[in-house]
A and B are shown apart, each in its own frame.
Chain A
Amino acid sequence: MATMALRPTADIVRRQVVDRTMGALLCLSAIVALTPLALVIGYVLANGLAGINLDLLTKLPKPVGELGGGMANAFLGTLIVILLASIMGVPIGMLAGIFLSEMGNNHFASVLRFLTDVLTGVPSIVIGIVAYTLIVVPMHSFSALAGGVALALIMIPVVTRTTEEALRRVPQSLREASLGLGVLEWKTTLFVVVPSGIGGIVTGIMLAVARISGETAPLLFTAFGSRFWPDGLNKPIAAAPLQIFQYAVAPYKDWHSQAWAAAFLLMLLILGLNIGVRVVTRTGFQRIR
């Protein structure tokens, strides 16, 4: 009897076949999902490496129709706009994150947390319109400043939430130890809690920078783009993603290869930041443990 029961019945065989089949299908879906993404990276690598040269990083764009030239102004412009966005976005985001983590046990904070999450989902083109309304309309000019404001608006919710999460991971006992020694609350927060969570905060900031450095839509009618060197914060400024877009939709072969090369550099920057953050935080966490 016992051996009879242990012999696989048709039902068990069927169930095992279903199990294996589903496993295979799910594995297949993983392959299907990763293929186009691998293709994108592969094409950017191949075409980008083919088109890359020193001119790209050192020269201005040539007038339309002439071959050669580079996009040095666009890369410089991207750096300037990112810097502007960080100057505005990081302090506000960090302070809001500190608020949510250290003073966030009330209704106002919950609502704010929820709104921040929703704010991350606002389309970047809408953020572009907002920055246009706030900066471009009163200043009567597209400007680097408007681009910076647009990107800061995108950056703030990201920095806020990552700062909050980083500070929440700081053990409560550290706060209690510090307060128990008679250290004031603000000193505890600034000199005990924040330094303990600084790894997570920096991670968040770097990820936010990685995100905004590829943003194109909010710059279309704020930074606007330019074919010259940056010329003051109240003037239109070039940016690499904008230039890639303009070159990609233009009919010139030479521009296409420059677009691929710039795309390659941008991807390198963004993936580099992302991977760098992961490597650093992993070793960082191990050191804490």
Chain B
Amino acid sequence: MAAAIPAAPRKVLPLLGAANFHDRIFRGVVVCFGAIALLAIIFVIVGAMVEQSVVSVNTFGLNFIWGQNWDPVKRQFGALPFIYGTVVSSFIALLVATPISIGVAIFAVEMAPPWLGNTISVVVELLAAIPSVLLGLWGIFVMIPFLQTTVEPWFIDRFPNVPLFQGPPYGVGLLAGGLILAIMVTPTIVAISRDVMLAVPISQREAMLALGATNWEATARAVLPYCRSGLLGAIMLGMGRAVGETMAVTMVIGNRADISASLFHPSYTMASVIANEFTEATYDLYVSALVEVGLVLFVVTVLMNAAARLLVWSTAQSSQQLGAL
């Protein structure tokens, strides 16, 4: 008996060794070509952006961000007009899209019957898939004529002394850019806020309803406060999308590097200037300046995305912990 037992491992061990070897190869392949490759891509992206913008960073330093002149002929590069255009158009987009999007999410999750709520979410997700060049096409041929002939003259007539509504109605401009961005970020904000609200434990609502609260009261006092940080994350993800969005904005914002208080004035965003001028950049400093605009854009969107993801994660995790209790 005792002698029979050691015999088995002797046969099995080489096999096990081979098995271990095969598994190690597999793990190696997965780690190298999956994980490490992904990590390498992230480093390459950062590296490429930094390397290409070094010339511009060294030449202009911080003046690049505060400079108001963008004049390739005179080799003057200041990115402030683009930063201004990006900030203002994204701000308009969020101002319009946030209340509506969160309203849609609340309606779909808390108010509507399940079939309607699900239909709305599916449709909204489909709409997120529409490429921005199609929205830009629609913007050029439908939205801009409408703004130019109807909306902007109305504001100019009613509020002649408000700086926001000065100047001739071009159609293209900050307002057009902001509105097209609002359309684009709505699906993003709706989808994430819906996920966040679905993660709120059902007991939160039941407790309020059992106390005699109406549906809206339960939503406003038990659900929304619970997922506040997640909703903030959803808005920030929308903002990240608005800031980095290129094609639709380029097609409707007018592409003029001016800083003007008027919403009807043509403007320019960081993404659009790269899209329009990159292939025309004829000397190294010009290319480098455009890449530096991209680097600023990259850093801003990465920071916003990182913060947003952390907020969304924290909501999901806190409700998971509560569910475990």
Q: A32-B100, A99-B31 are in contact. Are A122 and B38 (CB under 8 A)?
A: no
Q: Write 5 A-B pairs (CB below 8 A) sorted by A numbering.
A: A26-B106, A33-B190, A122-B305, A123-B301, A217-B271
Name A29-54 residues within 8 Å CB distance of B: 29-30, 32-34, 36-37, 39-41, 43-44, 47
In the assembled complex, which residues on chain A have CB atoms less than 8 Å from the CB atom of B186? Answer: 33, 37
Q: Is the CB of B245 within 8 A of A40?
A: no
| Bound form: Cα–Cα A78–B193 in Å | 34
The 7 closest A-B CB pairs, nearest first, are A214-B131, A123-B244, A95-B34, A29-B103, A186-B26, A121-B305, A19-B214
Stretch at the interface among A1-9, A66-74, A269-277: A269-277
Closest beta carbon of chain A to B217's beta carbon, Å: 7
Given contacts A95-B33, A245-B251, contact A33 B124 (CB under 8 A): yes
- Complex Cα–Cα for A117 and B22 (A): 31
Of the candidate stretches B133-141, B162-170, B256-264, the one touching chain A is B133-141
For chain A, give the interface size range.
35 or more
> Considering residues B39, B103, B297, which has the most beta carbons from chain A within 10 angstroms of its beta carbon?
B103
A115: which B residues are within 8 A, CB to CB?
Answer: 38-39, 42
User: Within 8 Å of chain B (Cβ to Cβ): is A79?
Assistant: no
Q: Are B131 and A23 in contact (CB under 8 A)?
A: no
Q: A92-B33, A96-B35 are in contact. Are A184 and B216 (CB under 8 A)?
A: no
Q: Is B267 an interface residue (CB 8 A)?
A: no
Interface, chain B (partner A; CB < 8 A):
19, 22-23, 25-27, 29-31, 33-35, 37-39, 41-42, 44-45, 48-49, 51-52, 99-101, 103-104, 106-108, 111-112, 120, 122-127, 129-138, 140-142, 183, 186-187, 190, 214-217, 220, 237, 240-241, 243-247, 251, 271, 274-275, 278-279, 290-291, 294, 297-298, 301-302, 304-306, 308-309
Chain B residues positioned under 8 Å from A37 (CB to CB) = 123, 127, 130, 183, 186-187
Q: Are A123 and B137 in contact (CB under 8 A)?
A: no
User: Count the A-B residue pairs with Cβ separation under 8 angstroms: how many?
Assistant: 270
B298 near A99 with CB under 8 A, answer no
Q: A29-B100, A124-B246 are in contact. Are A133 and B214 (CB under 8 A)?
A: no
The reply to whether A30 and B251 contact each other, CB–CB distance below 8 Å, is no
Instruction: Say how far B26's CB is from chain A's closest CB, in angstroms.
Output: 3
B111 contacts across to A, CB distance below 8 A: 23, 26-27
B298/A123 in contact, CB under 8 A:
yes
Q: Give Cα A68 to B42, complex, Å.
A: 44
Find the A residue at minimum CB distance from B304: A121
> How far apart sit A15 and B212, CA to CA, in the bound complex (Å)?
11
Give the complex CA separation of A40 and B187 in angstroms: 14
Q: Which residue of A lies closest to B271 (CB)?
A: A125
Chain B residues whose C-beta falls within 8 Å of the C-beta of A248 in the assembled complex? 133, 136-137, 140-141, 251
Contact A267 B134 (CB under 8 A): yes
Assembled-state Cα–Cα distance A132/B183 (Å): 30
Within 8 A of B (CB), among A247-273: 248-249, 256, 259-260, 263, 266-267, 270-271
User: What is the minimal beta-carbon distance from B122 to any residue of chain A, in angstroms?
Assistant: 7
Chain A contacts for B138, CB-based, 8 A = 39-40, 43-44
Partner of B275, one of A29, A108, A125: A125
Contact B278 A184 (CB under 8 A): no
Q: Which residue of A lies closest to B122 (CB)?
A: A278
Known: A186-B26, A249-B251, A263-B133. 16 other contacts (CB 8 A): A15-B214, A18-B217, A26-B103, A30-B104, A44-B134, A95-B34, A95-B37, A99-B35, A126-B301, A128-B274, A129-B294, A130-B44, A184-B23, A186-B25, A217-B271, A248-B141
